[in-house]
Structure 1
Amino acid sequence: MSLSPGPAARDGEVAARFTGRTVTGVRALSGALTEVRLDDGRIVVVKRADGPDAVRAEAAGLRWLASADAVRIPVVHGHDAHRMVVDRVMEGRPGRRAALRFGRELAALHTAGAPAFGAPPPGGPVEAYIGLAPMRNVTGDDWPGWYAEHRVLPYLRTAVDDGTVTAGEAGAVERVCERLPELAGPAEPPARLHGDLWNGNVLWGADGHVRLIDPAAHGGHRETDLAMLALFGCPELDAVLAGYQEAAPLAGGWRTRVGVHQLFPLLVHAVLFGRGYAEQALAVARSAR
């Protein structure tokens, strides 16, 4: 077929190269996503990114999560410096049965483990991303210290530099970081995290199985993924948590630690989207017990 010049045409060429199939149609889904139909009936998505580290980080993260054989992950067919080709997910509606299964599968993903807190996926860069924000995958053995130094404080400093948080307000978050050893609960081994587990990255498949997309995968504390699900409103969350608890019960007092784990995504969003998220992060910090 003849494709008009432009990003969609190049996306089709990349999809053909990495799948080994002939392209029969392309359709733009957004500014960064193109749906590509292949001659064998399959549909793939080509995702564009600004830099090679972003593409490499996402592709490595998807493959690392898939290797746990737990939650279903779209197949990565290949990537170059600026484009990645993955299977298209045919979406359905959330339901309790799928949510319970997702909770059990998410527990299995986490318990697949990671070499260390902050460990990047195999083949993934240290200089990675969470959404559009830079995220450094620097390793550590102690979760409270690592979480403060490499997940909370970098975004707090950026928010202060940008004027989104005042220097005086920052003290509330800094005090939580100092108290993390007492607030963190029992020590746990590094979990294999999705890392950006908000509702938009949880796709409820038409076949009744959840797929996860767009990870910021790294080794971390499993409660961080769950806290992000709660922060941004995952459908059927009670059932997801019930399935999770059935497979891998959380340590006592986990509900009191949700806010501590939400500081990371809230500060990332404050850096990206402004004062509203900064106020949420400060409220969480001030209420930490």
Structure 2
Amino acid sequence: MSVVKHRRPEAPHALPMEAAGLVWLAEAESSGGTRIARARMVGDDLHVDRVIEARPTPERAEALGRSLAHLHAAGAEWHCCPPPGAPEPWEVGSSRTPLSGQVVGDGGWGEAWAATALRPVLDRSRSRFGVDDQRLLDHVIDRMAAGDFDVPQPALVRGPVARLHGDLWAGNVLWSDVDTGAVLIDPHAQGGHAETDLAMLDLFGAPHLERVFAAYDEVSPVAEGWRERLPMQQLQPLLVHTLLFGGGYARQAVAVARRLA
């Protein structure tokens, strides 16, 4: 049995990019990475195999934390790179911002993340913010681009870039009776910093989240102060939600920016 996702005319590349991301993430399973949903393109539609779900338990949460560390450790070529085979124009950071052929690979994480995943979203959502708040957000993004928030990857990630799910909120984690505790769906896979995925899990909450984090940190210790950096990593999805929905998300984004200024 499959779930069929139909092509949307306003986003013709979304499903092929999702399919490419699922394949890329699944490559990490052989080295302990989290189980990834199986899918295939049939014409313009994406057919995703159904997952037999189970209730979340502390044991499954710990298995997810361990396997997520191994998924990130699979690495990527550069910060904000798309999965191999993703169609152009590809998008990064769940921003729905097309970047035709753009590669940001020579600088650090903050430079790439600011240029591809933060500034384009802020520019599209400026009407949601007052002038002073826009200046504040611009200042914080400038700091990010300058590398002020760059830190090492978790210990298992041998290179400078981790392999990310890219949209790891709780709804994309299907708890299941598999050795990795869960099956991941609906990625926006890309290269980046592992803390981005951890922050997304934290932003909207997930069952037994502390067990997930503890198991992750035990297997692949995260740089000191990572919990304090989670709000910084949440700025991008907050800006995306501000663009889409406005309201309280704009206030949350500004509150995070004030802490980073």
- Partner in structure 2 of residue 139 of structure 1: 104
Cα RMSD for the two superposed structures: 1.9
Match of 1:72 in 2: 35
Of 168, 172, 175, 1:204 maps to 175
- 1:132 is displaced (CA, Å) by 8.2
Q: For residue 99 of structure 1, report the CA deviation from its aligned partner.
A: 0.5
2: CA distance, partners of 1:256 / 1:132: 24
Q: TM-score, normalised by structure 2?
A: 0.87
Residue 227 of structure 1: aligned partner: 199
CA contact (8 A) 1:92 1:207 kept: no
Q: 1:135 to 1:285 in 2, by over 3 A?
A: farther
Tell me how far apart the structure 2 counterparts of residues 132 and 110 of structure 1 sit (CA, whole Å): 21
Cα 1:217–1:258 change in 2 (3 A) is: same
Q: Which whole-Å deviations, capped at 9, do the CAs of 1:141-177 have from their partners, x for residues lacking one?
A: 32111111111111111111xx212232111122212
Q: Distance in 2 between matches of 1:135 and 1:62?
A: 19
Larger strand fraction of residues: 1
Instruction: Give the corresponding residue for 1:108.
Output: 70
- CA drift at 1:135: 5.3
SS in structure 2 of the partner of residue 268 of structure 1: helix
Matched, 1:173 2:173: no
Provide closer, same or farther for how the CA distance between residues 117 and 130 of structure 1 changes in structure 2, counting only shifts above 3 A: closer
Structure 2 equivalent of residue 270 of structure 1:
242
Letter aligned with residue 127 of structure 1: W
Aligned to 2:260: 288
Q: Paired residue for 2:225? A: 253
8 Å CA contact retained: 1:259, 1:288: no
Q: Is the 8 A contact 2:92 2:117 kept in 1?
A: no
Query: Share of identical aligned residues, percent?
Result: 45
Task: Quote the offset at 1:184 in angstroms.
Answer: 2.6
Distance 1:283 1:220 in 2: 24
Decide whether the 8 Å contact of 1:193 with 1:221 is kept in 2.
Answer: yes
The residue that corresponds to 1:61 in the other structure is: 21
Tell me by how many angstroms 1:114 deviates: 0.3
Residue 89 (structure 1) aligned with residue 51 (structure 2) = yes
- TM-score, normalization by structure 1: 0.79
1:185 alignment partner AA: V
Q: 1:229: Cα distance to partner?
A: 0.5
Q: Which has the larger radius of gyration?
A: 1
- What per-residue deviation string (whole Å, max 9, x for no partner) do you get for residues 94-121 of structure 1? 1110010100110001010000001110
CA displacement, residues 160-199 of structure 1 (integer Å, 9 cap, x when unaligned): 1xx2122321111222122222233347711100000111
| Partner SS, residue 84 of structure 1 | strand
Q: Aligned equivalents of 2:40 and 2:111: distance in 1?
A: 37
- The residue aligned with 1:117 is 79
**1:52, CA displacement in angstroms?**
3.0
Partner of 2:161: 190
- Give 2:167's aligned amino acid: D
Deviations 1:52-108 (A, max 9, x none): 301111000111111111111111133322x10111012111111001010011000
Which piece of structure 1 moves more, 141-150 or 185-194? 185-194
Q: Contact (CA 8 Å) 2:93, 2:116: kept in 1 or not? A: no
Partner of 2:215: 243
Alignment gaps of 5+ in structure 1: 1-42
Decide whether the 8 Å contact of 2:129 with 2:250 is kept in 1. Answer: yes
Contact 1:52 1:80 in 2 (8 A): no
Contact 1:57 1:129 in 2 (8 A): no
